[in-house]
Chains A and B, each alone.
Chain A
Amino acid sequence: MTDHRPTEAVEAVDAVDGITGDDVLVADQTGAALPAAGGDGEPVRTLWSDAWREMRHRPLFWVALALILLVVTMAAFPSLFTARDPLYCQLSDSRLPPSAEHIFGTDTQGCDVYARTIYGARASVLVGVFTTLVCTLIGGFIGTVSAFYGGFLDTLLSRVGEIFFAIPTLLGGIVILYSLPNEPNSPFLLVVGKVVLALSVLGWPSLARIMRSSVLQVKPHDYVQAARALGASPWRIITSHILPNAVAPVTVVATINLGVYIAVEATLSFLGIGLQPPAISWGIAISEASGIGYITAAPHMLLFPSLFLSLTVLAFIMLGEVVRDALDPKLR
């Protein structure tokens, strides 16, 4: 499986792969269990230090990292990038082309596109980061528990996951968000929270599956059996022996999914069901700028938010791919 595909379609193929033999990246068993392989002064080589050695020579890694840092700074401190108030709009300035005063031009309401593009980063980053966090925690926990304990619990959790998994993210997102309507004056974080909730409800099974299959691969190893024989508690076995050797695939997929969630959020907002005005978001900006009339009359309204959105998504996907290439020994 040397390809990422967003959520359900990806996982559908993964599920098929599961039949013929799992192809998820397997972590080297050089984690916590086998400390200091070279005893004579050689530094300990772990999976992650190997990966780091590999990654730091890839320009793509640094490009992706720089882009991500830039976007996260934008989301956290938008006022560093612009002194203009994104909510200050003058109708008389409607749809001005880029100029010295408005470097990205203005939109239909006469708002500054540059300021709104900068402030728009916050919604995307919040949705992406929180959805990824929630999905990884829930999915990781459920995947680990079902693989570690197996039996009935595993069957039950896998079946439940399958049900959530069976609903395509965008379609499910529409149904869930339609059932959680916003008031025009709902606070921004509540609106973001609803989108995070919708995407997490549909997103956790993909990570649970990956976590489950990598824990299953680590579980039969001797050092896990040894720890068990020595009387280590399940908690200790999982946290210090299994997880360090099983998190690599989930890390990769979670990074890539972060980008995908940002794209889905923008799509939902574009359709008018994710974030809604007066919230500032790239999806809303693009939605307002699309339409044949606007595209020809004011292409700048479409271009700049689209560019920022695409670059952000690209950065996370690129980072995930670079990390995967570095972790997967088969590709070397």
Chain B
Amino acid sequence: MGTYILRRLLQMIPVIIGATFLIFTLVYALPGEPWEGRCGERPCPDSYIAKFKTEYNLDKPLLVQYALYLGKLVRGDLGTNFYGNTVVSELAVRYPTTITLAAIAVTVTIVIGISAGILSGIKRGSWIDSLVTVSTLVVISIPIFVIGSLAQFTVLKLDLNDYIPVTASAGTFHQLILPGFVLGSLSVAYVARLTRSNLAENLRADYVRTAKAKGLTRARTINVHTLRNSMIPVITFIGYDIGNLMGGAIVTERIFNINGIGGFIFNAINTSDGVSVVGAVTVLVLIYLLMNLIVDVLYGVLDPRISHD
């Protein structure tokens, strides 16, 4: 167990270094002028270019540039945008909203996704199974921005917008409920399908047949012998999915006009505030990598087979 966690931790270091190096090279070392598109909708003034060059050490060799950039990143310095605000301060105001949104989405995923998956996995081949399989396939095929707009449209058509707000500029919990459902919808579909297929596979396992032969009730075979091990991949999936949630949050926050990290990135893209785009996206990538690490470690805890290697 200890060695497993240690090995995972050590494996993560080159990935983090590699991923940040990749982002750095793509942004600062590609041919062209990296300060382009960082000064709003106009060309950069010479003073800014000079400042930019010194800030990112663009006159030094690539590896030195990268090392200095990594040093800043470790100290939490994501750069200062053209408007003179540090990216960190911009993110600090906005992250509670995004966390609330993500928490609603994850809750929706766990509650609806797992129950739907269990129902259809137990009653494989029944109408409820077909309903879950077909509806999840449809949800998976509809891009999240279409789901979001359709949700707004439905709520407005049914005249329910007094109860279910369709915009969330203030970012209160009540306003974030509909966006949370939209953000979670794709994960709900995946979790339902994953739960279903794992459950169905485990229900065919030999030890389940043995349990049945011993005369255990169906409820007990399912609850004790299958559910727990069927949940392992589902829980790890939800952990990994946080990375996708953050991508989805950019879209969801744009549709519902939410002033969170996603909305910030969207506005930065459209006002050509490149420092903010790159800084904020880098943070999201790092959070995603960290989540992966936590999930990997958790996996070792959840699955006893891992502990012995």
Binding site for B on A (CB under 8 A): 2-3, 5-6, 8-9, 12-13, 16-17, 19-20, 159-160, 162-164, 166-172, 174-176, 178-181, 259, 263, 266-267, 270-273, 286-287, 289-290, 292, 295-296, 299, 302, 306, 309-311, 313-314, 317-318, 321
Contact = CB atoms under 8 A, between A and B. Distances in A.
A326 B36 CA distance: 51
Contact of B26 (A159, A175, A286): A175
Could you say which of B145, B150, B237 has the most chain A C-beta atoms within 10 Å of its C-beta?
B145
B152 A292 contact: yes
Nearest to B15: A166
Contacts of B274: 178
Given A166-B16, A171-B284, 11 more contacts: A5-B194, A12-B292, A163-B19, A167-B23, A168-B247, A171-B285, A259-B141, A266-B145, A296-B153, A313-B142, A314-B138
Nearest to B14: A159
B264 interface: no
Contacts of B251: 267, 270-271
Interface string B149-185: 1101100100000000011000000000000000000
Contact of A163 (B22, B201, B247): B22
Contacts of A271: 250-251, 254, 266, 269
A263 B140 CA distance: 10
Contacts of B144: 267
A310 B142 contact: yes
B278 A175 contact: yes
A166 B281 contact: no
A295 B237 contact: no
A302 B143 contact: no
Given A3-B194, A5-B190, A310 B141 contact: yes
A171 B143 contact: no
A163 B20 CA distance: 9
B37 interface: yes
A190 B305 CA distance: 50
Could you say which of B30, B156, B281 has the most chain A C-beta atoms within 10 Å of its C-beta?
B281
A175 B277 contact: yes
B81 to A, nearest CB: 14
Contacts of A2: 197, 201
Nearest to B141: A314
Could you say which of B27, B34, B247, B270 has the most chain A C-beta atoms within 10 Å of its C-beta?
B247
Interface stretch (B42-50, B60-68, B87-95, B238-246): B238-246
Interface in B17-36: 18-19, 22-23, 26-27, 30, 32, 34, 36
A108 to B, nearest CB: 15
B270 A313 contact: no
B128 interface: no
A246 B108 CA distance: 38
A163 B306 contact: no
B66 to A, nearest CB: 14
Given A295-B156, A318-B137, A306 B150 contact: yes
Given A3-B197, A167-B285, A13 B140 contact: no
Contact of A8 (B243, B299, B306): B243
Contacts of A12: 236-237, 240, 292, 295
B14 A292 contact: no
Interface of B: 14-16, 18-19, 22-23, 26-27, 30, 32, 34, 36-37, 137-138, 140-146, 148-150, 152-153, 156, 166-167, 190, 193-194, 197, 201, 233, 236-237, 240-241, 243-244, 246-248, 250-251, 254-255, 265-266, 269-270, 274, 277-278, 281-282, 284-285, 288-289, 292, 295-296, 299, 303, 305-306
Contacts of B289: 166
B250 A170 contact: yes
Contacts of B23: 167, 172, 175
Contacts of B18: 159-160, 162-163, 166
A71 to B, nearest CB: 13
Could you say which of B22, B288, B299 has the most chain A C-beta atoms within 10 Å of its C-beta?
B22
B98 to A, nearest CB: 14
B202 to A, nearest CB: 12
A162 B15 CA distance: 7
Given A163-B15, A174-B277, A302-B153, A168 B141 contact: no
What are the nearest 10 A-B pairs in CB distance? A163-B18, A170-B247, A314-B141, A12-B240, A2-B197, A306-B146, A313-B141, A310-B142, A168-B243, A290-B149
A264 B249 CA distance: 14
A290 B145 contact: yes
Could you say which of B15, B295, B296, B306 has the most chain A C-beta atoms within 10 Å of its C-beta?
B15
Contact of A167 (B19, B197, B296, B306): B19
A20 B201 CA distance: 15
Nearest to A165: B15
Nearest to B277: A178
Contact of A171 (B30, B197, B247): B247
B37 A178 contact: yes
Contacts of B197: 2-3
Contacts of B37: 178, 181
Contacts of A167: 19, 22-23, 285
Contact of B27 (A3, A169, A179): A179
Contacts of A169: 247
A18 B80 CA distance: 42
Nearest to A263: B143
B167 to A, nearest CB: 7
